[in-house]
Structure 1
């Protein structure tokens, strides 16, 4: 069996793998459980995710990527090896060509770290492409025409905003405010308001089930359990959508401000196209309740959520790999 081309969305929260000819073959959390004493990898992906906040002192569940870049090289390499094996992407006869996406503003050193990790995990040739560009292709946007296309890709570690035309990024910005930061804001709000300690998974659960970023757009309540900071005992409290909107207001303002700034730096002719075509939202953060309404209100242009926004980046890698011989621009 010969190795197939592989597209990887190496996200802070999730890793998705596209195998040429097969489509998306893997979608797993970017989490690795390790033995603190020996450094041995015990579990990866979903099995490791279940351990977050629930491990004894001897085991550590860690996220090897932070803000869209590699925080722990060795663990990232071990994780990629495991995922490529699980996806049946490696071959005894040949090594695959791998296309990986990265945020727009990462340094040469960070780019090199991603390339090296993928090569050590089994890649023959590793190509990098900017995330918003790949997400736009995966969302079905025709970015190769001489017209303006704007995308806001809200991931786990970074939010990438870009205006594209003729296959290239015209203006862009990348910020370290995204899904994980929103979870932390909820966690801190519950700690401050209720003197209750909760974990990351509970915070994410609140965000998904009752969270909103548009005032009065949602009126739901959820019961959550945590540890009382005063008594040290378990306690249950009720949290509503209005509270979460307040908790998320500041970080979401940063995302809106970044989108506005990118629009302000866009040439007038392309801005006119965006008024017609609108802004496309991709990434897991596109599913955050009210985010499309808020951006429409603030930017005064139509805002559309892509179909399957979490899959757009990895779908885009598949399209680029399929057209590699036609020479889509890949660094």
Structure 2
């Protein structure tokens, strides 16, 4: 076929997941933390899928009730709850893209898999969560952080030859 069959772009990235964690800590735990702390929690404890052994860590911030410094324990289960809406939007976008794929090509997904790239691919269990929801194989590309940049560089270097497969993307707004 030689082109993009279906695509979708979301405005959900690692920063959105960090915002989810910030909001959860503020609203549910009454603890004010900074963006760097949210990022660290996401990387060390965050998951999109239930873990065989849930993780726990300590987090420090300012107690919103007393205004004083406070340290507390937070679990991977709590962070998964915090990021649930954004992760759900990612999974929904994958499912919607599959639904837009012509039926004669849908069977190819069983052989070719879904590949995840970018920083979001590093969220523990995202591949398993998408696989469970779609019943398809999901793989994380080698070096997912650099994969997007390498792909963009390749397109820029070969834009003339790739005109037939380049599309303007449809943006799905996240509620």
How many pairs align?
A: 165
How far has the Cα of 1:260 moved from its partner?
0.5
> Structure 1 CA distance, aligned partners of 2:115 and 2:53?
22
> Structure 2 CA distance, aligned partners of 1:218 and 1:176?
31
> Structure 1 CA distance, aligned partners of 2:53 and 2:82?
14
Larger RCO (CA under 8 A, 6+ residues apart): 2
> Structure 1 CA distance, aligned partners of 2:13 and 2:4?
21
> Structure 2 CA distance, aligned partners of 1:255 and 1:317?
21
Which of 1, 16, 25 is residue 181 of structure 1 equivalent to? 16
Asked if structure 2 preserves the Cα contact closer than 8 Å seen for 1:212 and 1:241, the reply is yes
Asked if structure 1 preserves the Cα contact closer than 8 Å seen for 2:47 and 2:76, the reply is yes
Report what 2:6 is aligned to: 171
Q: Report the structure number with the largest CA radius of gyration.
A: 1
Q: Secondary structure at the match of 2:12?
A: coil
Report what 1:328 is aligned to: 162
Structure 2 unaligned blocks of 5 or more: 168-175
Instruction: Report the structure, 1 or 2, having the larger strand content.
Output: 1
> Structure 2 CA distance, aligned partners of 1:321 and 1:189?
39
Q: Secondary structure at the match of 1:231?
A: coil
1:169-208: CA deviations, max 9, x gaps? 2222222222211111111111122211001111111010
Which of 114, 127, 133 is residue 279 of structure 1 equivalent to? 114
Q: CA RMSD in A?
A: 1.8
Q: Secondary structure at the match of 1:194?
A: coil
Q: Secondary structure at the match of 1:298?
A: helix
Which of 52, 59, 66 is residue 231 of structure 1 equivalent to? 66
Structure 1 unaligned blocks of 5 or more: 1-145, 147-165
1:194-253: CA deviations, max 9, x gaps? 211001111111010011110234521111110111221111111111111111112211
Instruction: Report the structure, 1 or 2, having the larger helix content.
Output: 2
Output the TM-score relative to the length of structure 2. Answer: 0.86
